[in-house]
């Protein structure tokens, strides 16, 4: 009978590193863009939850403000 042992965090990290080593640079580049867009979608959803009265333009305005703030905070560190 198969009794799978759950993978540890170290095992998962090791697999991720090994996958990263064989991933083409272009794939890594596009993965970064995809992750950024995914993070923006999550942030947009949070903005809509916080400000349900906003239209899409208002959501994008606040998203832009938050991205500019994040950039300024990163520049300070």
Residue 16: inside a domain, yes or no?
no
Distance CA 13, CA 8 (A): 9
Q: The domain containing residue 65 runs over which residues?
A: 25-76
Q: Does pLDDT of 18 surpass 90?
A: yes
Which stretch of DSSP H or E encloses residue 44? helix 25-50
The mean per-residue pLDDT over the stretch 17-27 comes to: 92
Residue 70: inside a domain, yes or no?
yes
Residue 3: inside a domain, yes or no?
no
Higher pLDDT pick, 2 / 5: 5
Higher pLDDT pick, 19 / 7: 19
> Residue 1 has what pLDDT?
53
Residue 48 pLDDT class (50, 70, 90 cuts): very high
The mean per-residue pLDDT over the stretch 41-52 comes to: 98
**Per-residue DSSP letters for 46-73?**
HHHHH-TT--HHHHHHHHHHHHHHHHHH
Q: Which DSSP letter does residue 21 get?
A: H
Rounded (10°) CA dihedral 11, 16, 22, 27? 170
């Amino acid at each position: 009978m198969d009794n799978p042992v759950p993978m540890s965090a170290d095992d998962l990290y090791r697999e991720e590193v090994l996958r990263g080593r064989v991933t083409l640079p272009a794939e890594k580049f596009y993965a970064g863009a995809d992750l950024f867009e995914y993070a923006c979608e999550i942030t947009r959803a949070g903005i809509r939850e916080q400000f349900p009265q906003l239209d899409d333009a208002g959501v994008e305005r606040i998203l832009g403000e938050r991205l500019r703030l994040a950039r300024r905070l990163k520049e300070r560190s």
